[in-house]
Amino acid sequence: MLKFILKRLALGLAVAFTVSLATFLMLNLAADPASMVAGEDATQEAIEQIRVQYGFDRPLYVRFFEWIGQLVTGDFGDSYYWKQPVFDLLIDRAPVTLTLAAGALTVTVVLGLTLGVLAALKPNGWLDRFALSFGTAAQAVPNFWFGLILIILLGVTFPIFPVSGDSTWMHFVLPCFVLGTSAVPQVLRLTRTGMIEVLGSDYIRTARAKGFRPRQILFRHALRNALLPIVSVITIQIGYKLGGSVITESVFALNGLGRLAYESILGADIPTVQMLVFFFALVFIILSILGDILNAWLDPRMRVE
Amino acid sequence: MTALLEVQDMSVTLKLAEGEMTAVQDVSFTVDRGETLGIVGESGSGKSVSSMAIMGLLPRGTRTDATTLRLGDVDLLSASEDEMARMRGNKIAMIFQEPMTSLNPVYTIGRQMTELMQLHKGVSGAQARARAVDLLEKVGITAAESRLSQYPHQLSGGLRQRVMIAMMLMNDPELIIADEPTTALDVTIQAQILNLLKDLQKELNIALIIISHDMGVVARVSDKIAVMYAGQVIETGPVSDVLHAPVHPYTQGLLESIPVPGQIEPGGALGSIPGLVPSLKTRFKGCRFANRCQRVHDNCQQGPVALQEAGSGQAYRCVLTPAQLRDGTPSLSARDAGDGSYGKGINMDASPVLQAIDAGCTFQVKQGMFSAAKPLRAVDNISLDLRKGEVVAVVGESGCGKSTLARMLLGLQEPTAGKIILGGQDIAGLSDMERSRKLQSIFQDPYSSLNPRRTIGEIIRRPLHLHGVGNVAEQRAKVDTIMERVGLPRSFYYNYPNQLSGGQRQRVAIARALILNPEIVVCDEPTSALDVSVQAQILNLLLELRAEMGLTYLLITHDMAVVEHIATRVVVMYLGRVVEVADTHTLFSNPRHPYTKALLKSVLTPEPGAGVPSVDLGTAYPNPINPPSGCTFHPRCEFASDICKAKAPVLESLSTTHQSACHMLEEEMA
């Protein structure tokens, strides 16, 4: 098992390096970084001054390895726009986004798994039809629009939840729900299909022949098998959630990493954008390693010997 | 005396979208402790539905009626769902066909065994574990203690079925229902499992129901049998009476359609029951077998036929009397025992039509994302000649490389060593068109080998179109001719494959293979997906076509009875190598390689009460990625000596038609 985890970690590091290289190249080659930082109306002189001041005049590879060096030592440089260390920005903003992602994930897992299992228990029954209609609707409705509707309905018409800011847990209910439901259809369908397949399998027939009651069969014999493909999808979904936080945070005026990303892109704040992309990638990599470990724990056949 | 299990007039009705369907009707039997009932029937005969009804495991919306359905003093019909759950796995145990998929892949063997005892008996984990170890030892599993922490995927199919049996014994059941317990296993493992079941049943005094499509299995292990057809028991009685003196025309026909050496010469026409097993959606007026019966009578459609006594516990479902039915009138169409000339007159000196020269195929197999690829020698240095008119059978257990060899000979798999010569030319240098004109194939599964979106006519005409043979009218005429020849009604031209039965689809596959007048047809398990009564029709057809069109067949199969009946020469493969080659008569009468002997011994002809000859090959079939050293068969061979572990034997000629690779023969020859 340890060997398995070490192998996954090594692979993860390789991916992290590739991502950082790609990010760096995109941000530095897409346009002249100096003129981006200087702004649209800047004079040629101002641009040249910035080029020297920020070190854009040095060769690309020197700057890349300088950045890698920064990553390794934990110093991520200063933000051009906020004029403070990028690391402080990250520490400051991350809790909001991580709370949002965790809440949204809970919504996805609870709704997706429950509806999926219920739908699978009686295919084509009313619950199944309800779940599938819900899934189709949730997939068809754009996220930001759903957020706005909820704000009008539960924030303005019936003011139950606050609609902007992040001071109490109540502030997170609507954004978590909006972000969470967007991934429900996929998890729901996968759970439903997986569960129907598992419930029709030979080993479930064996469990029935052993005298287990339907509830015992569902929780003791079927669920673990049906979960296997869902784990990896959920890990990917968390990645999408982090990406999706850019929009959701804007709609609900949450001051998290998504907003930070949005603002630093507009402000051509290269060090911050670079760091955020790398941070999201790192979270993604860690999650997929966790997903692999979880799957290996759930399914003995995945454990490489 | 009342029997342990009593089933009287049981019917099972399924609710379908288009109405109700009676899957089982008026089935009656009893089984006592220590007794074995064999239920035999083709697919759709209702044999599995009957067993699921006894277990109370039929899906919702299914109705079971009976005058009596009782185990011991429990009425299974009126028992609540909770009472039934307490019976299952406790008083009644069930063993299923697929050991590979019937155990939960994510839990250990130990957990799956102990949970069953803890569920019903409320014992401690330690007590259950102790019992599990005892039972694993009882079913012949070594190192039982350590097996408990293993997962199903770490065990071979034979071991898994042993685990399944041990598991089902955890609570000392009174009745065991084994539904096709050995169908998914290799023949050499089948004997071990059947003997194990029989021994345990005697020792523990259990009532046993064995359900199978295989008359050989049922005949050899049962005390009495029930023959099922279209949802009814059509004949029942003590096994020796039913098999030696069958009354019902269907039973008679079923027994005659199995190729049994001594009763029929190789190549003779097997008796075959015409037509198809009827769909259970049919509204039956009278006898359900009437439309296929040679003895059909005016009274057959005058209402349901009741089970009639035929003396000494034998009963049958027919309007005629036993005397009338046993008057010697053939119950089957066209049985011809053959004149012994089959396979003679093949010119073995002619140049081969298809040839493998030192052919080998090695796959690089990766077992994990990071592990280096390992070579898997699927086929290892095989030379084989096919001469015009021969029927060469390649036999061996799953994993022996016979299908890879077939794919190489078809030109679908490039050999990694040696070459394949078709009609004097290297097959690698031939185009698909040149190759397919001479060489065609028929596959095992007629359900997936026909394109579901084309009509039968298009499927058969397609090769003519691709090869540009004639204009559309000429092509159509050719299709009509071949359809008639293989026994397909012309009206099927515009039907789709899903509207046809398995046997009919296999006829379509044969017609498609033959429409270009090929020289050689590779038949990969052509009858193993078919029902017994249909298998005979297809074998007869293949034999007739061979004679008429001068075809050469390469037959890939695991069924030794089929081999003995239609092959002229047999190649026995083990782990990618040929261990013995001989003409069919020699191979069956004088097998020399220990593996061939084991294979032949494991063939179960339907001999009542003959028991199952024990074939003990010890360990399981080896993993082809890590083949044993020297002679790859040595770990399973009772004669193995030191030289077998060190050196691989080569094929020695024992006569002009007989070669075998075994060190014992080398010593003999020296």
Q: If you average pLDDT over every residue of chain A, what do you get? A: 86
- Chain A nearest-CA distance from B160, in A, is 12
B102: nearest CA partner in chain A: A203
What pLDDT digit, counting tens, does each position of A213-231 carry?
Answer: 989 999 889 999 998 889 8
Closest residue to A202, CB basis, from B93, B101, B370: B101
User: Two tokens at B505?
Assistant: 């689809």
Tally DSSP H helices, then E strands, for chain A: 14, 0
Contact B88 A210 (CB under 8 A): yes
Give the model's confidence band at B334: pLDDT under 50 very low, under 70 low, under 90 confident, else very high. low
pLDDT at B343 over 80: no
Of A5-9, B186-190, B619-623, B650-654, which gets the smallest average pLDDT?
B619-623
In chain B, which residue's Cα lies nearest the Cα of A122?
Answer: B60
Mean pLDDT, residues B325-341:
69
Chain B nearest CA to A280, separation (Å): 26
Contact A211 B102 (CB under 8 A): no
Q: Which residues contact B55 (CB under 8 A, 6 or more apart)?
A: A209, B84, B88, B92, B94, B177
Tokens of A99: 């709370």
Specify the pLDDT at position B665. 85
Under 8 Å between Cβ of B355 and B384 = yes
Q: Identify from B54, B55, B103, B104 which residue to disrupt to test chain A contact, counting A C-beta atoms within 10 A and taking the largest count.
A: B104
Does residue A225 sit at the B interface (CB-CB below 8 Å)?
A: yes
Which chain B residue lies closest to A205 (C-alpha atoms)? B102
Flag whether residue A2 sits within 8 Å of chain B, measured between CB atoms.
Answer: no
- Whether B275 is covered by a domain: the verdict is no
Chain A residue nearest residue B366, CA to CA: A304
Q: Alpha-carbon torsion A35, A38, A39, A41, what sign?
A: negative
Nearest Cα residue to B135 out of B114, B156, B119: B114
pLDDT band at A277 (very low <50, low <70, confident <90, very high): confident
Chain B residues with CB inside 8 Å of A207's CB?
Answer: 104
pLDDT in tens, B525-546: 888 878 877 888 889 999 999 9
The larger pLDDT score, comparing residue B43 to residue A214, is at: A214
- Give the pLDDT confidence of A171-195 residue by residue, as tens digits: 888 888 888 888 889 999 999 999 9
Query: What value does the mean pLDDT take over residues A255-280?
Result: 86
Q: List the single residue in B89, B103, B367 with the smallest CB-CB distance to A209.
A: B89
Of B90, B106, B153, the CB nearest to A225: B106
Residue B179 counted as domain residue: no
Q: Contact A211/B369, CB-based, under 8 Å?
A: no
Burial A150-181, CB ≥16 within 10 A → b, else e = bbeebbeeeeebbbeebeeeebbbbbbbbbbb
Look at residue B488 and tell me if it is in a domain.
yes
Q: If you measure CA to CA, which chain A residue comes closest to B88?
A: A211
Amino acid (one-letter) located at B143: A
From A202, A211, A304, residue closest to B368, measured CB to CB: A304
pLDDT of B358-397, one tens digit each? 999 998 877 655 567 788 888 999 999 999 999 999 998 8
The average pLDDT across B463-485 equals: 93
Cβ of A210 within 8 Å of Cβ of B368? The answer is no
**Residue B179, pLDDT score:** 92
Among B304, B359, B277, residue whose Cα is nearest residue B530: B277
Average pLDDT over residues B256-282: 79
Q: Compute the nearest-CA separation of B626 from chain A (Å).
A: 15
How far apart CA A223 and CA B583 sit, in angstroms, is: 55
Bigger pLDDT: B358 vs A145 = B358
Q: Which pLDDT score is estimated for A107?
A: 92
Q: Would you call A304 and B369 a contact, using CB atoms and an 8 Å cutoff?
A: yes
The larger pLDDT score, comparing residue B439 to residue B611, is at B439
Which comes out higher in pLDDT, residue B561 or B393?
B393
Q: What is the pLDDT of residues A43-96, one digit of tens each?
A: 888 888 888 888 888 888 888 888 888 878 877 778 888 788 888 888 888 888
Q: How close is the nearest chain A Cα to the Cα of B224, in Å?
A: 25
Count contacts between A and B (CB, < 8 Å). 72
DSSP for B356-407?
EEEEEEEEEE--SSSSPPEEEEEEEEEEEEE-TT-EEEEE--TTSSHHHHHH
- Which residue of B86, B94, B119 is in closest CB contact with A209? B94
The nearest alpha carbon in chain A to B60 belongs to A122
Which pLDDT tens digit goes with each residue over B481-512?
999 999 898 889 999 998 888 888 999 999 99
Best to test chain B binding among A196, A202, A230 (most B CBs inside 10 Å): A202
A299 touches chain B (CB under 8 A): yes
Is there a contact between B89 and B168 (Cβ–Cβ < 8 Å)? yes
Residue of B nearest to A3 (CA): B370
Rounded percentage of chain B residues whose pLDDT exceeds 90:
51
Chain A residues whose CB is inside 8 A of the B89 CB are: 209-212
User: What type of residue sits at position B122?
Assistant: G
Of A205, A213, A300, the CB nearest to B85: A213
Cross-chain residue pair A206–B368, CB shorter than 8 Å: no
- Domain around B547: 354-609+618-664
Q: Which fold has domain A105-267?
A: MetI-like fold (1.10.3720)
Task: Check pLDDT > 90 for residue B594.
Answer: yes
Amino acid present at B300: C
Token pair listed for B420: 């394949």
Facing residue for A211 by CB, picked from B119, B151, B370: B119
* Bridge partners, B569 (sequence order): B392, B583
The count of structural domains within chain B is 1
Instruction: Kindly list the strands in the beta sheet with B354-365, ordered across the sheet, starting from the edge strand earlier in the chain.
Output: B374-386, B354-365, B417-422, B425-426
Whole-number pLDDT of residue B371: 65
Q: How much is the pLDDT for A54?
A: 81
Shortest Cα–Cα distance, A231 to chain B (Å): 15
- Annotated domain spans of chain A: 105-267
Which of B90, B98, B371 shows the shortest C-beta gap to A202? B98
Give the nearest partner residue to B96 out of A205, A225, A304, using CB atoms.
A205
**Residue from the list A207, A212, A301 with its beta carbon closest to the beta carbon of B105:** A301
pLDDT bucket at B132, cuts 50 / 70 / 90:
very high
Is the minimum CB–CB distance between A203 and chain B shorter than 8 Å? yes
Residues of B with a Cβ under 8 Å from any A Cβ are: 55, 57, 82, 85-90, 93-94, 96, 98, 101-106, 108, 115-116, 119-120, 151, 153, 164, 167, 367-371
Q: How far is B226 from chain A (nearest CA, A)?
A: 23
**pLDDT computed for residue A288 by the predictor:** 86
How far, in Å, CA of A235 to CA of B211, rounded?
A: 46
Check CB contact of A205 with chain B, cutoff 8 Å: yes
pLDDT for B369? 55
Whether residue B237 contacts residue B310, with contact meaning beta carbons closer than 8 Å, is answered with yes
Closest partner residue to B101 (CB to CB) among A203, A207, A213 is A203
Give me the half-sphere count of Cα atoms (radius 13 Å) on the Cβ side of residue B127.
Answer: 10
- Best probe of the A interface among B94, B98, B106, by most A CBs < 10 A, is B106
Q: Mean pLDDT over all residues of chain B?
A: 88
Q: What is the pLDDT of residue B510?
A: 94
Instruction: Please list every residue in chain A whose beta carbon sits closer than 8 Å to the beta carbon of residue B115.
Output: 210, 220
Q: Give me the pLDDT at residue B457, please.
A: 94
Question: Nearest residue on chain B to A300, judged by CA atoms?
Answer: B106
Q: Which residue has the tokens 């004149």?
A: B339
Interchain pair A221, B96: CB under 8 A: no
Mutate to test the interface with B, among A206, A231, A295 (most CBs of B within 10 A): A206
Q: Does any CB of chain B come closer than 8 Å to the CB of residue A301?
A: yes
Average the pLDDT over B200-229 and give the result. 92
Structure tokens at B370: 């990071």
Of B82, B96, B369, the CB nearest to A206: B96
